[in-house]
Amino acid sequence: MIRKAADRTSEVREAMRGGEGSVEIRHFFKRDEWNANTRLCAELILPPGASIGSHQHLREDEVYIITSGSGLIDDGSGEERVSMGDAILTGNGETHTIRNDGNEPLSLIAVIVMYGE
């Protein structure tokens, strides 16, 4: 199943997970398009100043892969700068937060895989 970039559905979340500003979510494939236990597969775009607040992942793993821009991630061990090609894996009850402290949009690919029963 091919999903052209222009055919993605998009939504904007304000104060995502208690963060600042708005985050655009461009879905590649939604949960009901997967056979596997995947509930998010999307590009997330954080304009300058935007953030996703701290949140926990229980019984699921989320990977962020930074595709453009730069920002600060905190996975519980302090803020660390991330930029293109860096990745963050969070799961098993861990928390994370990310914010764009730069002047360019921060784009990342996010995939959430839930654990089986």
Question: Which residues in this chain contact a copy of itself in the complex, by CB under 8 A?
Answer: 1-5, 8, 28-29, 33-38, 41, 43, 60-61, 63, 65, 67, 73, 75, 80, 82-92, 109, 111, 113-117
User: Does an H or E element contain 87, and which?
Assistant: strand 87-91
Alpha helix (H) ranges present in 25-91?
A: none
Cβ 23 to a copy of itself, closest distance in Å?
17
CB 106 within 8 A of CB 52: no
Nearest to 54 by CA among 9, 15, 6, 27: 15
Cβ 56 to a copy of itself, closest distance in Å?
14
Cβ 62 to a copy of itself, closest distance in Å?
9
Q: Report how far Cα 9 is from the mean position of its chain's Cα atoms.
A: 16
Smaller CB separation from a copy of itself, 36 or 103: 36
